[in-house]
Amino acid sequence: MLVVMCKHMRDLDIIITSQFDKCLECETFYKLSWNKKECIPKCDDGITIEYEFCDDQSNVQFDGCYKCQASFQLECILCIELQCYACIEGWQIIDNKCYQQCGDGQLAVSSQEQWDDGNYNSYDDCNDCKFAYDQNCFSCATSKLCFYVMNILNWM
């Protein structure tokens, strides 16, 4: 059996065994690369090593850490060391993160808000930051187009 040392990052002793230029086993906190030619840090194990910026053990994008690299919130336009200091139009900073605030009078760009009239009054064209006209309104396509639900029993 010919044993040849496979590649490893930063010349660390992280390879346990190798054969024919293929890694067979890596040290703890490392895993085999897709081609088995090197041992790379395990991402999402909670341990930050080598070229990992962070490791929060989650696979959620834009929560600050994604695939062990810095991942910034899309609505943040000024981020320093994973702390947001300015948001896109209509978004508010709370605890260094951007949040849409229904009822603040600002339509949050790239959000679920359809309209924001700056109040919490029901049936005044806007309710919960969605288009709404009156109690019979079923669905509003735009601020001017509303689909009504008809009470069939009243038509008989």
Q: Are residues 25 and 96 in the same domain?
A: no
Domain residues for 13?
A: 7-41
Confidence of residue 86 (pLDDT cuts 50, 70, 90): very high
Q: Which two tokens stand for residue 4?
A: 């040849």
**pLDDT value at 134 more than 70:** no
Which pLDDT belongs to residue 2? 32
**pLDDT value at 3 more than 50:** no
Cα-based distances in Å from 21 to 6, 24, 86: 5, 9, 50
Confidence of residue 33 (pLDDT cuts 50, 70, 90): confident
**pLDDT value at 150 more than 70:** no
Q: Are residues 83 and 37 in the same domain?
A: no
In a domain, 129, yes or no: yes
Q: Are residues 81 and 30 in the same domain?
A: no
Q: Give the chain's domain count.
A: 2
Residue 100 φ then ψ, to 5° = -80, 140
Range name among 53-67, 75-89, 133-147 with the lowest pLDDT average? 133-147
Tell me the per-residue pLDDT of 23-32, one tens digit each, with 9 for 90 and over. 778 888 888 8
Q: Are residues 83 and 150 in the same domain?
A: yes
Decide: pTM greater than 0.75.
no
Cα–Cα distance for residue pair 84/76, rounded to 1 Å: 6
Q: Are residues 102 and 150 in the same domain?
A: yes
Tell me the per-residue pLDDT of 97-123, one tens digit each, with 9 for 90 and over. 888 887 777 777 777 777 676 666 666
Cα–Cα distance for residue pair 136/121, rounded to 1 Å: 16
Cα–Cα distance for residue pair 17/116, rounded to 1 Å: 62
DSSP string, 28-80: TTEEE-TTSSEEEEPTTSS---TT-S---S---TTSEEETTEEE--TTEEEEE
Q: Are residues 34 and 92 in the same domain?
A: no
In a domain, 62, yes or no: no
